[in-house]
Amino acid sequence: MGEAVLAGSLRAGVVPAHVVATGRRAGRVAEVAERHGVRGILDNVEAVRDADVVVVAVKPKDVAGLLASVGDALAPHAVVVSVAAGLSAAFFEDRLPAGQPVVRVMPNTPAAIGAGMSAVSAGTHASAADVATVLAILSGTGDAVEVPEAYQAAAGALAGSGPAYMFYVLDALAEAGVAVGLSRELATRLAVQTMLGSARLVAETGEHPALARERVTSPGGTTVQGLRALDAAGVRAAFIAAVEAARDRTNEIAAELEA
């Protein structure tokens, strides 16, 4: 996820020479540095010194240790951006020097190609200008929206995890195509473009998805039978259960790590 945000920031106009990427493995850091033309090092303390923006993209369980090691080296104005699922801005603020600005972001992996969706929330000490800086950086990752922090778990459950649900649907649709006699290659091509086109149609027309669905569904036709099968299998309820489960797990992670 860190590399996706890095790629997006460069797309947004951040100068590669102004970026320092860190990681745990030298090979991986060198690979990222070379791919994006940024400086890659293994020393987090050196990386954050003089930084205006510090993006923390390690697993939630590794955040506390990382903050303990870099906190003292941060410039007071440095905006610490968290993409860690579940961890509150307060989790960061409690482990950083008093007054450090923190902005919490829930991105998703299509950020890697500039087609991501991020939910952004200010911590206690982050100013509107700090949030604007983060939104500007994220503009190269796709769409980004500011939400109250109370919505972060829900937004992450829908959009942060959402690509996995979409890939699941694509895989299932392609499999369905194979089941009715198409080659896997053709079925995948049909499924992918259908998902892409349907999302774009709703995005570009602003039409309610239910109305867009009705337009496809001719009386006595084929689609209504397909939709009946989806309803009979409880697919709508399954999506609601999936988002609720991911939301609940987000809150569990927070409770485990903040305890």
Ligand X SMILES: NC(=O)C1=CN([C@@H]2O[C@H](COP(=O)(O)OP(=O)(O)OC[C@H]3O[C@@H](n4cnc5c(N)ncnc54)[C@H](O)[C@@H]3O)[C@@H](O)[C@H]2O)C=CC1
Residue of 8, 40, 101, 107 interacting with ligand X (CB under 6 A): 107
Residue pointed to by tokens 């100068």 = 15
DSSP 54-93: EEE-S-HHHHHHHHHHHGGGS-TTPEEEE--TT--HHHHH
Which entry of ligand X, ligand A1CAB, none binds 88, CB below 5 to 8 A by partner kind?
none
Residues that bind ligand A1CAB (CB under 6 A): 85, 156, 160-161
Q: What, of ligand A1CAB, ligand X, none, does residue 122 touch, CB below 5 to 8 Å by kind?
A: none
Q: Of 53-61, 73-81, 198-206, 224-232, which segment contacts ligand X by CB under 6 A?
A: 53-61
Tell whether residue 162 is a contact of ligand X (CB under 6 A).
no
Stretch that binds ligand X, among 78-86, 95-103, 128-136, 192-200 (CB under 6 A): 78-86
Alpha-carbon span 3 to 83, nearest angstrom: 12
CA pair distance 50, 78, nearest whole angstrom: 8
CB 87 within 8 A of CB 254: yes
Any contact of residue 123 with ligand X (CB under 6 A)? no
Residues in the chain: 259
Q: Is 58 marked as binding a ligand?
A: yes
How far apart CA 163 and CA 204 sit, in angstroms, is 20
Under the rule (CB under 6 A), what is the footprint of ligand X?
1-2, 22-24, 28, 44, 57-60, 62, 66, 83-85, 106-109, 160
